[in-house]
Each structure stands twice: as C-alpha cells, then as structure tokens.
Structure 1
C-alpha cells in the first residue's frame, strides 16, 4: 500500500487519490461496494431521464455516468461527490444546442461532445490557474432562480410526450403553453393516462417507500400499464411510443469535432455550462463535506471536473458535474472513499448489459411523468418564499434569473449573475458613514451613535464601515463634504477608521484631497484606530504629508486634547453642550472658563 509520507507534495496535486488511498481497507471496501450498488441503481433511471432532457439518445446519459464519474472521483478532492449527468446541465445543453442541430441526430451528438470537451478544458484551466474562487461570485439566489427556470423548461419540454400532442421540439416556453391551450381538444387520453399514472406512482413511492428508487417503481408501473393498454386497444389506436431498446455495450470511443466552425458555435455555450457545472460541483461537495467533516479544495475540484469532461468526451459522455442526489445517496449509503463511485460505475456497466433490452418497453409518456416529478423537485419553494420575505433586491435577482432562463437559458443565468454583482457593487460602493460621539462613561474610549446626543458645533466624528475604493470614493467624499455644507462651523472631522478594511489609490487620493480642503478651511481631517495596513498604504502612496503624521490616533489615546486646541475659542465660549471634558474647564486657547 502507498505511504503518503513518501510522496512529495507535488504528487498529491497530480495524483490527489494518494491522500485517501491509505484509508482503503477491508471494512471500507465493503462499505464502498454497498454504496456503489445503491448508486448504480439510482443512476440507471436518472441517466435515461437526463439524456432525454439534453436531447441525447437515452444511453448517453448512462455513458456520462461511467468514465467521467471515475475520473472525477480519482482527481477531485471530495470523498463523496459523485459526478455524472444532472438536470441543470442537461437542460443547459439542450437549450444551447437545439437551435444548432436536430436533437438526437448524429450532428447534435457530435456538437455536444465537442461542447463537453471545451467545458472540461475551461474547467481544467481555471483549476490549474487556481481560480476556484470564481464560483463564489454566483450567488445562491441566482442558482435558485436558474434551477427553478430550468425546472419549468424541463416540464415544458415534456408536455407533448405527456399529453400526446404535436409541439415542435425546442419550442420556447410560452409557445408550449400556447400550443397546449390550442390543442387541448387533441389530447391523447391513452398517452396522458400512462403519464399521469407514472407521475402519481412516483409521488406515492417517494412518500411511502423512500428507501427504494421511486423512479424505478414509477417506470415499471408506467411500462406495465402501457403494455396492457396497447395489448387491449392496439398501438395504432393508442399511439403510445416507447424509448426503444438501449445498446447493451460499453461506452464507444468517439473523437469530438474540433473543426473551427463547430468550436466557434459551441464555445459560448461551453462557458455557460462550465460555470454552471463548477458551481454545482463545488456547492454540492461543500454541502456533503459539512456532514463528513472533510476539507474541500475548490481548485482541485475544478481540475477533477475538467479532466472528467475532457476524458468523458472521448467516451461518449456528455457534459457532467456533481450530482446532489447521487452524492447524497452515496454519503447516506455509508461510502468511505471515492472507490464507491468507481464501483458504482462498474456496476452500472453490468446492469446496462443485463437490462438494456427492457428499455424498449418504457413509454415516452412514462418518462414525461418522471421528468415532471423531477422538475417539481428542482423548484426550491422554501428558499423562494424566504427570499421574497427578506429582501426585495434578492427577489428581483431571483425573478430576473428565472424569467430570463425561460426566455433564453444562457442569457438568463448571465443576466442574473450580472444583476447580482451589480447590486453587490452598489452596496459596497456605499459604505456606512455614521455620526458618533464619545461615550459618557468615565474612562471609556469607545463611541456611541450620535442620534439623540449633542454633537460639537465645530467638530464632527463619523464612523466609516466598509472599503474606501474607487467605486466608493464619490459617495464617501459627498458624505464628508455634506458635513460642512450643513454646518459651516464643523471644519474639523475625525474618522473612526477601525471599520475601514481596504483602501486603494483612488481612496487614498480622495482622503488626501479632503485633508487639504479642510486645512484650507481652518480645520483638519483626523483618524482614530486606523488599521496598520491602511496606514502603511497611505504612507507608501505619499499621502501622509497631506493628512499629517499627527492626524492619526491609536486606540485608547487622548485624541481630544490636540484637536480641541485647534477649535475656535469664541464659538466654544458660547457653546452650551460642552461634550468633551476639556470643554468644562477651559477654552481652546487655554483661557479658563468662568461659568
């Protein structure tokens, strides 16, 4: 057995499975075998369903769960993440590629495998460049909105199969709804009965026998019902179509189309699938890791997913990523190491060789019923309701993403990301600028909110929380300028700077400009509890001469004494507030107070 202490750190990066390989033993092998069998049973109906969503021949959904799953398990960082076809990726593939070629055709399959290769290449480059942080910029709200929109597109794509009506494949969501209404009188009762019974069976099986794969139960019941209906009335009357027999073979080797014309067409959709796939993979692996108490390396996950799609594209596997359902089942089944995923892929091959001919009895209507159930499960009603109650801005992001996805899947998610980032930048470009006053407790060095307290007529203290960068410069400068515009006597300002965590060149220049402006007015700009990093940046950018070395006061220092001496004695003479201790005994010029 390999000893990790003998392997250089570079080996762990190139062969990450060396980290967990020492964990493999007889007990873990037994647990992984059981988890692998369970995983193979789960992915069988899912793979066929997902391939149907993607517009691929049914067997390609199973191919995508074989070789890519093994590569992702061996070269990723998660012990429990299981990769393969998913609903979101499948609908993204269908929406992006169906306008370019007829779904299911050889040209369509070839272009999808090219897209898969490019997706893997982009993922690998991002991983090697250590850009795993990128997925943090896709907000949870955008993912929820996109997933809900994708779920509605899944359901819309199956309306014709569920009701037995003629709708052009790849029709837009609103066209599907329109055609359903127009052709309501042409609904095929036999086809609809099979779909409805399959749907109802899936719902009941999921509720009452949750440990058993509800999709398999629903498929069997729907297939048996369709068989007897066809036996009774004849296929010519019922017009119940089936998926057709799956080829009982290993994933065939396929060389993606690397022509310029094809790459030019699929490169943008590949970018969309890349970000969506990485978001899913990293999010799912982190969610599972919180239960298994494992540390996830986002960059290594990028590498693992990239290699999985690159290699998978040569073995007829269309774009894959981490699957929440399969990963959750894998962990719940007691998987100890990624070998569980390897075993699941091997068992899937064996199952395919045994049951492939039975797919000829699976009606398209039954598949539609199952996909309706899948689509319903994708819509996160709980979080959608929660977002609607808590944040108007996030609600707008949610619905823009959802509705945008219904119109155009690729543009929908990008609009959602762009709007989400825009709202974030708007918030960070408006750091809090709150007036404060010294706490009245004896010996206290902290400040309290100025609302409800008297402030010095000549001296304003404000607390700034946030970054003072190029996007926030104008807002902060306006906030400081408004102080003397509303009260011309407040020529001096002290910033409680403990909440300023970042400053750039534009921010430093603005503060220097403000200091010069206030000095010309006869006042000054001062800082209390400025972080060392901020102070060093101001010094490196040569702004301390403008602000003044004496304008910075550390925590628990006597800042009021030097500032008080710069104030106008005549204004202090008639001031009734006297909020500072010095105000009680003498004027700024040293004259003792008489009363």
Structure 2
C-alpha cells in the first residue's frame, strides 16, 4: 500500500510527541513565509495576488502525501511563476478572467504530464536538460524576475514591449517623470527590514515582519488614497468619450450576442436544408462570421482604449472647500488653478463612476473563504496551444523540485524515488487546478526553512496547508492594505539566491564546452524573454550537439611499454612502438557518429607501419557498440585479414561481447581473437611471431624503475 499511498510510511511517526511538535513548528514556520511569498509569486505570474493563496492551499498537502520526499515544500515558486506569465501573456491580458482560466488549465496540463511520466517510470527524461543549461537559464531567469518588478518598486507604468529588455528600458525611462515616492520608500523600507533581520538571525520570519510593518504603515497613511468620482469630474473630453464608449459597449454586447446566436442558427438551418455550396448557405455563413468579427474588433478596440487611459496620469484640482474637484490630464491644468500635488490615475470604471487612485497600489480586496472546487473547462484547442509551455514547466519545475529533494535526502539519509516524486508533483498540480491554482513546484527557500525548522515527516506540509486555510477563512481582511511594492521587494529578495556566477565558472573549468552551453543559455534566455522556451530549447540543443561532437572524436591512443612496466600513450610519453604490433585503446562507446573516426585511426596506423602484423584493440573503454559500430568492425577485420594483418580484442565488456555473439561477429572472427587482458593478447602474438621478437619488442621492456635509496 505504501507504493500507492506513500504517506503510510510516515503517518505513524507523528504519534511520537516529539515528531508531532517538530512538524507543527516547522509547518507554521513555513506558512509564515509561504503566505506573503505566494501572493508575491502570483503577482509575478500575472495573476491577482490572492490566487497565490489558492496555489498554497492544496498543492503543498497533496505533494507531501503522495511524494517521496518528507521535507520538500511545494507551492508557488519564482521560476514556474515566470514561465507561466511568459506562456500566457501573448494570448491573454494579465489578470483577466481569460488569463486566469488559461493558468488553471496550464496547471492541469503540467500535472497530467508529470503524473504520466511518473506512472510510466520515465523520470530520466529530465536528464535531457543538462546542468549547464539549467545554470544558464536560472541565472537569466533571476535577472528577468528581478527587473520585471521595477515598475512596482518605483510605482510607474510602462508599455510592455516585444522583448523584456525593451520593457525594462521603458520602465527606467519612465522613472524620472512618473516615480511615486511613497511607493519607492515603502519598497526600500521592506528591503531594509528583510536584509537587517536576515543578518541578525536567519530564523526570524523577516518576510512576514516586513509585510506586517508595511501593511500597517499603508493603512495608517492611507497609502492607496482612492476617490470615487463621476464622469463629469474628468476635465478631458477624450477620456470621457473612451469611458462612454465602454458603457455603450456593455449595452451592445448582449444585443450582439443575440444577433450572433440568431445568425448561427440561420446558418445551421441553411446548411442542413441547402448544403455547403449553396449561395444561401454561404450568405448565412458570411453574416455569422461578420457579426463575430464585429464583436471581437469592438471589444478589442474599447479595451485597448480603456487600458491606455488607465496608464494616463492626472492632476487633481480640488474645490475651494477641499472637496473632490476636477481631474485634468497631467500638464493640462488651467492657468490659475492649483493641483493637490498628487499623481492620479484611473483605478477602475463602473458605469459613469470612476475610482481614482492618488496613492500607491495595494493588494486590495481578497475574497474571503476557500476557492470552489471544480474541474477546469476542457478546451482541446486551448490545451494544444498550451501543451509546449506545459511540458517546459513540467520538466523545469520537476528538476528544481528533485534537486532540492535529493539534497535533503542526502542530509536526512532517507530514500528518494524520483518517479514517485513526479507522481506527487503531478497530483499536486492536478489538485491545484481543481482549486483555482496555477502551476506549482518544490521551493528551495521554503524547503530549507522546513528542514532547518526541524521537519521530520510530510505532516509539516499538511500543517502549512492548514495555516493557509485559516488565512483564507478569517484573515483575508488584514491583507487589503498590503502594498504591491512590498510583494515586489519580497520577490526580488527571493531570487537573489538564484544568481550563481560561480556555478558557471565551475562548469567552464570542468569542461569548457559546458561553460559555453551555460553562457549561451544565459544570453539567449535574456535576449528572447519573455519567450523563455526558446532560450531553453536552443541551450538544450547546443548541449546535445556539443556532446555528439565530443563523442564523435574520442581519444584514441597508441600504447607502448613505459619504463615503469605499464602500457601508456606512446605519443604523450615519447615511447618507442613495435613495428609488427600496434596496441590501440579507444576511450568511448562505438556508435554511428564515431565509427568512421575509429576506422580512420586504424587505417592511418596501418599505412605508417608497412611491417605491421597485428592490431590489438584494448576495448575496456568501450561501453556500448551499436549496429553501425559492429558492421564497421566486421568489414575492418575482413580488410585487414586480406592485407595480412590480424585484429585482436582485449578487455571487452560483457555487454559488448553479447552484441558480438548475437550478431555472429564473435564466431566469424574466431574465439582465438578475443582475450581477457592485454598481456594475454601479447603472449599470443609473441608465440605467433617467435621468441626472438619477444626479446626485441619495445612492448616487452623490463621495468627500469630505479629503487629508492
């Protein structure tokens, strides 16, 4: 039963009061970090902040119950949140109902893919994303995540461009004219609190304290500063026209929907009565398509205009008695009138009433209660559109989770099953999609908090979910005044640890080509952002190409006897070789990409040694042979035999010998061509050549190492 219900392995342990106490403390500690962090990551994913709480509700509990790691803390994470935004922003407006629906569907796709990999025992698939690719991507993602929060840190609004670096430049360019100083000071204060408390004692919940202090300050100073005004109080006719246009659109939509439904019915009737090619059917179809196009264009145009005016800044000229007066476009205040000095913008439009925001942005109303449990709407077209993004998030999210889980399993000496962890993460995302969650994964920072707080079993994550439930049921009003600048600061602090230049340097030292892969993945991820999948795919492709390049020309060494009695590389150590015998060592698997290289090296040796009689292949470095390699050896043996040269093999591994026996190469060459050791092969050759040759052959030099005095 433990195979299907892994939590049965540890559920009995919580009867121990010490284990129960440790898990309770760890679960509460993680929740204190998770609640504010989850809201920040939801904001990063382009979702309303409270959806982060939904993502922190079921996934941590389900992943702990059905995964194999006892300390892995699952929930919203920075990289997966960024990938979610990158996947959805091209097809829907951030925070819109359509965007939220896509995100929930994406969570279902990720969960189904991960669970399928786990059930099919295909966890090894993640190995196709090499470590250098992940290093490069993670470093780039950390920079992208941090810079994506600049607008919230400075309180500015900038146009989003096709590439992330262009958006960052637009944000920086907007700072001198649009910076909202209270927002900036709130963010700076949050940074100061978190950094100071982290240095004083890492165990202090610095994120929670920063959130609590800045939220209280926001409430005290009326940081948001909202005013509800009528359309007549907007002193600009173009803005009034846009708002009235939206009001008109809301009236038109029901009428358009009814007309579209009638046109569709007419088309279906005509199609059934007259067939596809009849002019009456074609006319009905044209009317139906025209109405749909009209509706889409109308909505798109009005929404674009409304979004544009929401970016616009206004000056407010109050009435003489201090009451709310008139709002003018920035810089268009009439001569003689004096503004209140604030920068105002339109927060929302409700009929002919507008909510104006003269302060900073806060989380605002968080719906009270648990999210409703329901299956996401199945739309095959949408699921196919999101499939590639879902696979990317599945693999990267799981790689992050399993690397964390392995590190903790080493520390706790617990058994870890990668396939079971895939099932746990998959079920967590599926459960999340039922409770309005976007994709989740294992968190490095919260897992570290969990294990450092003393978590022994997965019950600590159950406790964490329980605290999130309490927050959703009773504590949501406390989150209204939480500044979004604080959440941006939380995100930036969290991703600082993802930047790891030393890892890139280490990869370069270990293998220069791996260093190149890491750097290329880093640069391309930055260049293609927000299309992050391109950088990952190109990096993974480059890693495979360089791997093939390395294995296409493995090391081939001609061996000779070293004075110490061992066989060494003759060229490297300047050793003499035998004119009748050549010993060649091949360091690598023999497969289709390098068979020609191996054959060329043999032929090159044969061409430079006219008196050559025997070629001994030291095959202890050959781990695998494919059909191409076996075929090449068969033909090579025939050609050498025709030239009066015999090829012998020494040290063949069992899996390679099995291939030779199955294909008949062993039988065709003859059992006398295969030897367990190189010395046995040499003894055989010397007997064939005669004893005099054994004395003269450099391969038989007696050890000349001088004994130490």
Q: TM-score, normalised by structure 1?
A: 0.89
Return closer, same or farther for 1:312/1:580 CA change in 2, 3 Å cut-off: closer
Which residue number in structure 2 is paired with residue 533 of structure 1? 655
How far is the alpha carbon of 1:51 from its aligned partner? Answer: 0.4
Is 1:148 matched with 2:148?
no
Where structure 2 has 5 or more consecutive residues not aligned to the other structure, the ranges are: 226-339, 345-357, 703-709
Is 1:198 matched with 2:190?
yes
- Give the distance between the partners of 2:498 and 2:681, measured in 1 at CA: 58
- Give the distance between the partners of 1:515 and 1:213, measured in 2 at CA: 71
- Give the distance between the partners of 1:413 and 1:582, measured in 2 at CA: 54
How far is the alpha carbon of 1:578 from its aligned partner? Answer: 3.1
Return closer, same or farther for 1:266/1:37 CA change in 2, 3 Å cut-off: same
Which stretch of the first structure deviates more once superposed, 147-156 or 429-438? 429-438
Contact 2:25–2:453 (CA under 8 A) maintained in structure 1: yes
Is 1:369 matched with 2:489?
yes
Which residue number in structure 2 is paired with residue 15 of structure 1? 5
Contact 2:35–2:56 (CA under 8 A) maintained in structure 1: no
1:373-415 deviation line (CA, Å, top 9, x unaligned): 2232221233234334544312221122222222121111122
- Give the distance between the partners of 1:536 and 1:368, measured in 2 at CA: 60
- Give the distance between the partners of 2:563 and 2:202, measured in 1 at CA: 63
1:252 to 372, 380, 385: 372
How far is the alpha carbon of 1:577 from its aligned partner? Answer: 6.0
Contact 1:89–1:320 (CA under 8 A) maintained in structure 2: yes
Question: 3-state SS of the aligned residue for 1:183?
Answer: helix
Is 1:46 matched with 2:37?
yes
Contact 2:71–2:408 (CA under 8 A) maintained in structure 1: yes
Which stretch of the first structure deviates more once superposed, 30-39 or 101-110? 30-39
Q: TM-score, normalised by structure 2?
A: 0.75
- Give the distance between the partners of 1:78 and 1:462, measured in 2 at CA: 47
Which residue number in structure 1 is paired with residue 114 of structure 2? 123
Return closer, same or farther for 1:543/1:483 CA change in 2, 3 Å cut-off: same
- Give the distance between the partners of 1:260 and 1:26, measured in 2 at CA: 49
Contact 1:111–1:256 (CA under 8 A) maintained in structure 2: no
Contact 1:477–1:510 (CA under 8 A) maintained in structure 2: yes
- Give the distance between the partners of 1:582 and 1:358, measured in 2 at CA: 86
Is 1:276 matched with 2:415?
no
Say how many residue pairs are matched: 567
Question: 3-state SS of the aligned residue for 2:369?
Answer: coil
Return closer, same or farther for 1:94/1:474 CA change in 2, 3 Å cut-off: same
Question: 3-state SS of the aligned residue for 2:427?
Answer: helix
Which residue number in structure 2 is paired with residue 323 of structure 1? 443
Which residue number in structure 1 is paired with residue 307 of structure 2? none
- Give the distance between the partners of 2:16 and 2:484, measured in 1 at CA: 43
- Give the distance between the partners of 2:370 and 2:123, measured in 1 at CA: 33
1:74-130 deviation line (CA, Å, top 9, x unaligned): 111111112111001000000111111011111001011111101111111111110
Question: 3-state SS of the aligned residue for 1:422?
Answer: helix
Which stretch of the first structure deviates more once superposed, 549-558 or 61-70? 549-558
Is 1:453 matched with 2:575?
yes
Which residue number in structure 1 is paired with residue 180 of structure 2? 188
How far is the alpha carbon of 1:47 from its aligned partner? Answer: 0.4
- Give the distance between the partners of 1:349 and 1:234, measured in 2 at CA: 42
How far is the alpha carbon of 1:59 from its aligned partner? Answer: 1.4
Which residue number in structure 2 is paired with residue 500 of structure 1? 622
Question: 3-state SS of the aligned residue for 1:437?
Answer: strand
How far is the alpha carbon of 1:133 from its aligned partner? Answer: 1.3
Contact 2:78–2:491 (CA under 8 A) maintained in structure 1: no
Contact 1:252–1:315 (CA under 8 A) maintained in structure 2: yes
Question: 3-state SS of the aligned residue for 1:13?
Answer: coil
Which stretch of the first structure deviates more once superposed, 153-162 or 118-127? 153-162
Question: 3-state SS of the aligned residue for 1:361?
Answer: coil
Question: 3-state SS of the aligned residue for 2:86?
Answer: helix
Return closer, same or farther for 1:170/1:38 CA change in 2, 3 Å cut-off: farther
Contact 1:454–1:577 (CA under 8 A) maintained in structure 2: no
Question: 3-state SS of the aligned residue for 1:256?
Answer: coil
Is 1:287 matched with 2:407?
yes
2:16 to 4, 11, 26: 26
Which stretch of the first structure deviates more once superposed, 84-93 or 130-139? 130-139
Which residue number in structure 2 is paired with residue 475 of structure 1? 597
Moved segments of 4+, more than 6 Å: 231-235
1:432 to 555, 559, 569: 555
- Give the distance between the partners of 2:147 and 2:457, measured in 1 at CA: 39
How far is the alpha carbon of 1:436 from its aligned partner? Answer: 1.3
Is 1:382 matched with 2:502?
yes
- Give the distance between the partners of 2:109 and 2:160, measured in 1 at CA: 26
How far is the alpha carbon of 1:61 from its aligned partner? Answer: 1.0
How far is the alpha carbon of 1:580 from its aligned partner? Answer: 4.6
Question: 3-state SS of the aligned residue for 1:460?
Answer: strand
Where structure 1 has 5 or more consecutive residues not aligned to the other structure, the ranges are: 1-10, 584-595
1:472-496 deviation line (CA, Å, top 9, x unaligned): 2122222222212333433531011
- Give the distance between the partners of 1:50 and 1:19, measured in 2 at CA: 32
Q: Which structure: larger Rg? A: 2
2:635 to 503, 513, 517: 513
Is 1:220 matched with 2:212?
yes
